[in-house]
Structure 1
Amino acid sequence: MAARLKDMPVDDSRLGDFRIDSPAEIAATLKRLADANVPLSLHAPTGISIAATLWTAEAQRGLVSFSLLPNETQLDALVECDEATVVGYLDSIRLQFDVNHLVLVHRGSHTALNAAFPGELFRFQRRSGFRVQPLVRSAPVATLRHPMIPDMQLGLRVLDVSIGGCALFLPHDVPPLDPGVLMNGVVLDLDADTRVMTGLRLQHVTSINPDSGGVRLGCEMVAPQADGLRALQRYIDQTQKRRRMLTLD
């Protein structure tokens, strides 16, 4: 069994590759999100998700404010959680940061969601950058509950993985999954040192070959834990290096 993330040694020398913790730099990055009206998704720990854009980010006031889609049905449930993970893409970079102290603000017919200014922001290379196939000896597995049959626990083989997504193998004897479904509480055990806890949204289902006995599930990661993404980036780098060494041998 892989070690839990909190028990893993973290290579602090690599945190700078991902983390922004300067208030001025965070403010500048958030301003770019607001100026470009970048679509964002806000994910609560309970699995609730809403769409929004960033309206303002004021470091001096310690405040960020989001514009919301009209008639957002899950807004009240998100506010009750009082915290959310914000995910968006700027150029070729995936941006992710946590917000808390969520407050709804009504200005006439417009509703905004205010939150405390984030203390750190993470940026990761977009999923199209690198995709690796795990080495055979590591036998990586994704553990999750079937979204349509909550009592059914699944352990699916990981076919490939990138910083923003993965492909899983679904055997023919397992009830099928529909594209678009959100799978919460997924645990990716990639090797003895790499565990990623995340949500997965199923993007597409494709056949592999007639003899495979199953289908390929192409999934996008939804609000993965930041520590897990750092571990995943290290895993991708190490797997690439090991594959190059095997090719040279």
Structure 2
Amino acid sequence: MQAHIMDSGLENWHDFEVESRREIVALLRSIGEKNQLIRMQVHGESEVCVTSILEIDAEGGMVILDRPVDTGQSRRMAAASGIAFETSLDKIRIMFSSNSLEECMHGGTPALKMAVPDTLIRLQRREYYRMNTPVSNPVRATIPMIGDDGAANNTPFPLADISCGGIAIMDNKLVLGDTIGKNYPGCRIDLPEIGIITVTLQIRNSLDMTLLNNKLNRRLGCQFVDLSRGTLAQVQRYITRLERERNARIAGLG
């Protein structure tokens, strides 16, 4: 990880380092297309300026940046041995760096250029970082329930998404009813290639949706209660695995 572009107080952030050239180019191109402003700072110095991506030359391996209005500032940036960049894309912080900036011309106006970075860091607050789980082969949460006959039974519910704070499940048969605020201890979630975790789930919200065939589907947001460090680490590993798979798909389509 590029430690020199990381600031303190990031314990509550989920980080993911992107190393695929195609993924990096696709992300930078999206930042440019959405005209996102980018914070640019010389390593170890307080001077900060704002830029944006004008063009991505994937074949030439270059990123063309808008030049700061202040000519002197632009020259100092170009002369620096290390520049840190930070921006955001769809509420996710994007951080990267460059060892060298050069002044250039773009469309007849002065600009700056740099090599496409080798790596890029994506950051998002852990509690808000949600990944959709597979639809075709759904992950399931098994919740212990007491039936009308008083007998205990384990009922499986497919996951819709997962975060370090909890999961969303689909109660397609509407068996959980009005359970907002209720805790369900001893729930088991089988995370593919990670293992089975046992958690206490608290139902936090409920959303009823009518499908195209007029069938009712209920989505329940569930919060993890007193998750252990070891179980949290397993959830984080699974989220990272899902993100790697998603980014690989994005790169394949890019």
TM tier, smaller: 0.3 to 0.5
TM-score (norm: length of structure 2): 0.45
TM-score (norm: length of structure 1): 0.45
